[in-house]
Amino acid sequence: MNVDELLRDALREQAAEQTPATAGFADRVLAVRRRRGNRRLAAAAAATAAVVVAVAVPLLDSGKQDVRPSGGGIVVEKKDVKAHPDQSPPREEISAGGTTLAGYSLAETVEKSADTAVYQRTYHLLNPKTGKYAKAADWSWVAVAPGMKTAAVLEQDLPASRIGLLDLTTGKVERWIPVDHGVGGLAFSRDGRKLVATTYGKNPDLRVRTEGSDDWGQEWTSSRTGFYVLDVASGKGAWTEVKLASDPDDPMGGTFLNTRQDFALATDGRHVWSGNPMGDIGKQFYDFTGKEVPVPAGDKYLSWSVDAGRSPSGKLVAGDFAGKKWKTSSYVLDAATGAKTEVHGQQLLAWVGDKQLIAWDIGKDDKNEFHNRLVLVTVGSDKTVPLTGFREGNDGAAGRWDPLFAQP
């Protein structure tokens, strides 16, 4: 393909409406109970090389052209948008409106014995100084704080006995926070001052042989024990136990939860919450003593399986797959009324201000829902702006990467 054809295709995809995905797409996009079918997790490998060619790409809202062959590839850079539609996984910074792709992970299932394995992630993190992504140390879990200066990390062999605070520029752990209860997951508060650490009795990423097959699946029962709410500056905080409820329909005494079902801080800063896939409303909130509480009014429409959550102002909530106006689209809900607006995107991943989001979506005339890329979508607009190249292969295939975002 020559330069003219590459440019023409890129512009056509940016302007065109999305087309139908394959049958059953909505069911596969939404998170489901693990007992309804475990997906095989294949080993991850390096992505194939992207097309390397410098082209002139129009600015997003003007008729001018901006020729930027940074890194030898296609670049879209207008005001506060940095995009590399030829890169998958990305090599250079992807960001929009201060919301940054802080990194990405590749995963593989590593066999430990004849009957057990671990779903293991390899992280590539953005260095804020160089603007490039590089393979990080051997962390099992990474959460990036707002502002892109610090990340909280866990070593391998979960649950971990300490939490590291990583300087993203130097790649060095500046401080360790020891814990008495093993930690398997981390999430920062919106202001970055608090860190919620979910504790487990066993590795939440453990996999076991699926009965009657060679596939790996989750264990039947969760080992989640509770959570810490830690002050990042001091490292201090208390552990709270949260006991598991058994599934009354399970003769083997299984739990409602997936083996990994992490806590996060609620929008009000006074509660934590997590998904409850088999519960009536799909989520559960707790106070800091571990007592169950009603869902706060503004969080009524939150979905634990939708990463974007509430908008910065708190007025809107990213919702589930829609597929009405466009075959690949999602809902955005009014946090107070639940009124729905349809927006482009298979899965809404992160807010960019209160009117835009970063999402996964397929390209024009693409009939494979797994062949998707990061795009910038706008509430009330038909336009999408490609941010990265396409992921190849089906879910769990080698080379597929998962994004990690940081808010401004």
Residue 366 within any structural domain of the chain: no
Asked if residue 33 has pLDDT above 60, the reply is: no
Q: 281, 180, 283, 296: which is closest to 240 by C-alpha?
A: 180
Q: Name the residue with higher pLDDT: 27 or 179.
A: 179
State whether the Cα torsion 264-98-350-318 is positive or negative. Answer: positive
Would you say 386 and 14 are in contact if contact means Cβ atoms under 8 Å apart? yes
Which runs of consecutive H residues, i.e. helices, occur in 62-161? none
Q: Please count the structural domains in the chain.
A: 1
- Please, which residues bridge with residue 103 across strands? 125, 404
pLDDT digits (tens, 9 = 90+) for 389-407: 999 888 877 679 999 999 9
Residue 151 within any structural domain of the chain: yes
Query: Could you give the CA distance from residue 153 to residue 140 in angstroms, rounded to a whole number?
Result: 8
CA distances from 373 to 33, 118, 160 (A): 25, 27, 33
Ramachandran area for residue 185 (φ above 0: left; ψ -120 to 50: alpha; else beta)? beta
CATH number at residue 147: 2.40.128
Query: Could you give the CA distance from residue 331 to residue 327 in angstroms, rounded to a whole number?
Result: 12
Q: 331, 115, 73: which is closest to 209 by C-alpha?
A: 115
Respond yes or no on whether the N-terminal peptide bond of residue 128 is cis (omega within 30° of 0): no
Q: Name the residue with higher pLDDT: 214 or 361.
A: 361
Q: In what order do the strands lie in the sheet with 292-293?
A: 264-265, 272-275, 283-286, 292-293
Phi, psi of 275 (to 5 degrees): -70, 150
Q: 385, 407, 375, 405: which is closest to 102 by C-alpha?
A: 405
Residue 295 within any structural domain of the chain: yes
Q: Name the residue with higher pLDDT: 60 or 167.
A: 167
Would you say 141 and 107 are in contact if contact means Cβ atoms under 8 Å apart? no
Asked if residue 275 has pLDDT above 70, the reply is: yes
Element (H, E) at 4: helix 3-15
Helix (H, G, I), strand (E, B) or coil at 176: strand
The share of the chain scoring above pLDDT 70, in percent, equals: 78
- Mean pLDDT, the chain, integer: 82
Q: 318, 276, 268: which is closest to 296 by C-alpha?
A: 268
Residue 324 within any structural domain of the chain: no
Residue 243 within any structural domain of the chain: yes
Structure tokens, 34: 């693990």
pLDDT digits (tens, 9 = 90+) for 64-100: 333 222 333 455 555 689 999 999 999 999 999 999 9
Taking residues 12-16, what's their average pLDDT?
37
Would you say 206 and 116 are in contact if contact means Cβ atoms under 8 Å apart? yes
Element (H, E) at 9: helix 3-15
Q: Based on the number of CB atoms within 10 Å of its own CB, is 249 exposed (0-12), middle (13-18) or buried (19 or more)?
A: exposed
Q: 333, 295, 331: which is closest to 314 by C-alpha?
A: 333
Phi, psi of 16 (to 5 degrees): -80, 160
| Residue 273 belongs to domain spanning | 137-300
Could you tell me the pLDDT band of residue 35, with boundaries at 50, 70 and 90?
very low
Q: Name the residue with higher pLDDT: 4 or 270.
A: 270
Residue 67 within any structural domain of the chain: no
Distant-in-sequence, close-in-space partners of 402: CB < 8 Å, separation ≥ 6: 104, 105, 106, 107
Structure tokens, 59: 């600015």
**DSSP code, position 313:** T
- Please report the DSSP string for 232-290 in residue order: TTT--EEEEE-PPPB-TT-TT--BSS-S----EE-TTSS-EEEE-TTSSSSEEEE-TTS
pLDDT of 69: 29
pLDDT of 281: 85
Residue 229 within any structural domain of the chain: yes
pLDDT digits (tens, 9 = 90+) for 177-200: 999 999 999 999 999 999 999 999
Could you tell me the pLDDT band of residue 250, with boundaries at 50, 70 and 90?
low
Asked if residue 168 has pLDDT above 50, the reply is: yes
Asked if residue 212 has pLDDT above 60, the reply is: yes
Residue 182 within any structural domain of the chain: yes
Could you tell me the pLDDT band of residue 249, with boundaries at 50, 70 and 90?
low
Length of the chain equals 408
Asked if residue 61 has pLDDT above 50, the reply is: no
